[in-house]
Structure 1
Amino acid sequence: MKRSVYTHVRARVSLAIALRTATANGTSVDRKLSGASGTNEWYQSAALIVHAGTITDGTHAITLQVSDDNATWGAAPAADLQGSLPSIVAADDDKLYEVGYIGNARYLRAVTTVSGTTTGGIYGAVILLGFPNVLPISRT
Structure 2
Amino acid sequence: MATRDLCHNIHPVRAISPAAARTDNTPFVSEIVDTKGYESLTFLLAAGDIADADATLTVLVEASDAANMAGAEAVPDKELIGTEAQAGLSFADDNKTRKIGYVGGKRYVRLTVTPANNTGNIFLAAIALLGHPRNAPTPNPPV
The TM-score, its normalising length taken from structure 2, stands at 0.83
Residue matched to 2:35? 31
Residue matched to 1:36? none
The one-letter code sitting in structure 2 at the alignment partner of 1:77 is P
- Compute the displacement of 1:132 (Å): 0.7
- Are residues 1:120 and 2:117 paired? no
* Contact persistence 1:68–1:106 (CA under 8 A): yes
Q: Which has the larger strand fraction? A: 1
- Alpha-carbon distance in structure 1 between the residues aligned to 2:128 and 2:89: 18
Task: Encode CA deviations 1:26-78: one digit per residue, 9 max, x unaligned.
Answer: 1111112xxxxxxxxx1001111111111112222122221111222221111
Q: Secondary structure at the match of 1:17?
A: coil
Within the candidate set 44, 47, 56, 1:49 is matched to 44
The one-letter code sitting in structure 2 at the alignment partner of 1:104 is G
* Contact persistence 1:61–1:113 (CA under 8 A): yes
- Alpha-carbon distance in structure 2 between the residues aligned to 1:66 and 1:122: 25
- Are residues 1:92 and 2:87 paired? no
Task: Give the 5 Å matches for 1:1-140.
Answer: 1-3=1-3, 4-18=5-19, 19-20=21-22, 21=24, 22-32=26-36, 42-57=37-52, 58-71=55-68, 72=70, 73-85=72-84, 86-139=87-140, 140=143
* Contact persistence 1:50–1:96 (CA under 8 A): yes
- Alpha-carbon distance in structure 1 between the residues aligned to 2:13 and 2:38: 12
- Compute the displacement of 1:92 (Å): 0.5
Q: Which runs of 4+ in 1 moved over 4 A?
A: none
The one-letter code sitting in structure 2 at the alignment partner of 1:130 is G
- Alpha-carbon distance in structure 1 between the residues aligned to 2:60 and 2:131: 20
The one-letter code sitting in structure 2 at the alignment partner of 1:29 is V
- Alpha-carbon distance in structure 2 between the residues aligned to 1:135 and 1:87: 32
